Structure 1
Amino acid sequence: MQFSNQPVLRESDGAFQRGLNGLLETHFKLSGTSNGTFDGEIQRSYISPKLRLADIAFSPHFTCLKAGKPNRHRTSYLVSHQIEGTSRVTQGGRESDIHPGEIFFIDTTRPFQIETDNIRTRSIYLDTAFWRDTFPERDQYTATALGPETTFGRACATMFDEIFDMPWMLDDTAMLRIGESMAGLIAVAMISRPPLCGSEPDVSTIDLIRSAVRRNLSDPELSCACIAEEVGLSMRQVHAHFSGTGTTLMRFAMAERLARVARDLENPALADHPVSAIAFEWGFNEAAHFSRRFKTRYGLPPAQYRARALSLPVKLKH
């Protein structure tokens, strides 16, 4: 058992990601959502083979599953109690906004997304064995908000508070029984109402891939390898999932980039922005290549497209 009453980790960006993954045996990729940087602090922690507890504060950031195969034999589920700030969590075709006082859980071995503002959260990482018998339908309830407005929701929040307010000096056997009790209470609370409608696994994974592409359109180095890393899949898996959509991953990315440029060209507030600057903001790095692609897609060169959209006089070349 490892226990600490002092902050056990206070770092930024990659250093925090490495520290968190090492301490909690997670397989997460974290990145800032605004200027690309973020800060994190694990204020308290309890670490044992099948149960991990962490009181964590973050600046705005995005978390997803890293590429490669996570350890499916340890700490498969994250149960999180939001103390401050808000988060948006996605898994299995379900998406929920999580507010202070609400609880959610995810399977940390399957693709997921968590996007936050400034938050503080109390997290319990539970081994799969805790859920096996008590919550067989758990995968239908991941990324579902559990609030204090129900009796069982209040009971879960109260138990969270009690667990995190205690000194964590019990022996491992007692702590494991606390983990079992938490898992059982979460199971009862979740199944007391119907699950949110989710998508089929392949559909939800494709949605995750598309979302990752859209988040990274401004990166001129965007590639299948980058997307695979962000969604926690191999390149082969990404191509396999996307193959049934009628297009390729990079053609989809190109269409999304061109659509963003077209939208900005139609925006009167951006009328003074050079076309090339808008194109570069959306990941194009060569003006002639961009113009050819745009004309092929929309039937007009970008300057003429803007002029027609904004009813501007067309500057003819002499």
Structure 2
Amino acid sequence: MQSYNSDTLPAATRTSAWNALYSKQLNNVEFTPASNVDFAARLSLGQLGPIQFARMCTNRTNIMRTRKHILPSQQRLYSFLLQASGSSTLSHCGQEAQLTAGDFALCDSSAPHNFTVDDNSIVIMLRIDAKTLKKHLPTPERFCGLHLKNEVGLTATMSAMLERLDRQLEKGFTSTYDERFAQNVLEMLSMSYAIGFDLEPDVSAVLRGRHAEVIRYIEDNLRDPNLSPASIAKGMRISPRYLRTIFASSGEKVSSYVIRRRLEECAKQIRDPNWCGHTLTEIAFGWGFNSASHFTRTFHEHHGVAPREYRRRMMK
């Protein structure tokens, strides 16, 4: 395994140097540690057939991948994130997964994410190209950002096995059976997700895949005040009727999803101390609302309290 340690980087530029190193070895992202002075991170990389193993150890930091980090020419990769120890929160594809030891989440490199890891966090990532993964998990888009808990189905078995495998790779384990073993690992991960989320048999894989595509389109355009079911259908080149069919399986209307996600992002910034200098209207308009009264009313309906009172309680 290749290993990298932030301690070897110049203290004055450690965070920026780590960003460059991580982006070169894995994906373009931006690390924002809770403390630049105390920032410490380690990264180990190994390979098992088509699966790249990456183990990241760090203290509290936020890792963000935005649209500016995603290049059209880059290969699309999926990463299974295994929280080996500590805890973290992944916001991705309209979902939020709060991970503790033994939990999994799936991340798509072609979509933005926000990953906050706590102190003493160890995350093991299994990175696979889209074509290979889809042989085992036909619609991985369906699972991106979802929280696969350790106590569900085969998850605990998989997490224990992958932690052991990661330790063996660190010692230099290689075998002529790497390729076959990797395929079995992917098949077991696929079964873990199928069991863990108990997919509805009446919902076709095609509709699940299209639903994930629509969600990604919405997430990419969530800040656009003109975003609506009609504009989404036009942007996706599908009929409004088919759009309603795609969303029917989720039990939530398209317009309701858009409002809910905007409110969730507004609430996140309202309770973030870094945004305390911004007005509530600035935050709301930044997430696609174009009426302060409409924002206040819908926020109250969703959170049970007005935005101003919500900020006051969160800032105590």
TM tier relative to shorter chain: 0.5 to 0.7
Partners of 2:87 and 2:117 within 8 A in 1:
yes
Match in the other structure for 1:20? 22
Aligned amino acid, residue 61 of structure 2: H
Match in the other structure for 1:200? 215
Question: Among 184, 188, 195, which residue is 1:181 paired with?
Answer: 184
1: CA distance, partners of 2:20 / 2:312: 43
1:246 paired to 2:290:
yes
Structure 1 residue 131: deviation in Å? 1.2
Listed one character per residue, the Cα deviations across residues 160-215 of structure 1 (whole Å, up to 9, x for unaligned) are 123212134426x7444444333222211111124699883344442487578655
Which deviates further from its counterpart, 47-56 or 145-154? 47-56
Percent identity of paired positions between Structure 1 and Structure 2: 10
Aligned amino acid, residue 61 of structure 1: T
Partners of 2:48 and 2:182 within 8 A in 1:
no
Q: Which stretches in structure 1 are left out of the alignment for 5+ residues? A: 228-237, 271-318
1: CA distance, partners of 2:178 / 2:113: 28
Match in the other structure for 1:56? 56
Partners of 1:51 and 1:75 within 8 A in 2:
no
1: CA distance, partners of 2:124 / 2:117: 14
* TM-score (ref. length: structure 2): 0.60
* TM-score (ref. length: structure 1): 0.60
Structure 1 residue 135: deviation in Å? 0.9
**Measured at CA, do residues 30 and 204 of structure 1 come closer, stay the same or move farther in structure 2, by a change above 3 Å?**
same
Match in the other structure for 2:116? 115
Residue 158 of structure 1 aligns to a residue whose secondary structure is helix
Partners of 2:76 and 2:108 within 8 A in 1:
no
1: CA distance, partners of 2:185 / 2:76: 14
Match in the other structure for 2:165? 163
Structure 1 residue 98: deviation in Å? 0.3
Structure with higher Rg: it is 1
Structure 1 residue 110: deviation in Å? 0.2
Partners of 1:50 and 1:75 within 8 A in 2:
no
Residue 200 of structure 1 aligns to a residue whose secondary structure is helix
2: CA distance, partners of 1:96 / 1:23: 25
Partners of 2:99 and 2:147 within 8 A in 1:
yes
Listed one character per residue, the Cα deviations across residues 69-94 of structure 1 (whole Å, up to 9, x for unaligned) are 33665361121211221111122221
Residue 39 of structure 1 aligns to a residue whose secondary structure is coil
Partners of 1:126 and 1:179 within 8 A in 2:
no
Match in the other structure for 1:80? 81
Residue 91 of structure 2 aligns to a residue whose secondary structure is strand
Write out aligned runs for 1:1-318 (5 A). Answer: 3-4=1-2, 7=4, 10=7, 12-24=14-26, 26-32=27-33, 34-35=34-35, 39-46=39-46, 50-68=50-68, 69-70=70-71, 73-74=74-75, 76-118=77-119, 119-166=121-168, 167-170=171-174, 174-192=177-195, 193-194=197-198, 200-205=215-220, 206=222, 207=261, 210=266, 214=270, 215=272, 216-218=274-276, 245-246=289-290
**Measured at CA, do residues 18 and 46 of structure 1 come closer, stay the same or move farther in structure 2, by a change above 3 Å?**
same
Partners of 2:41 and 2:59 within 8 A in 1:
no
Aligned amino acid, residue 201 of structure 1: R
Aligned amino acid, residue 246 of structure 1: N
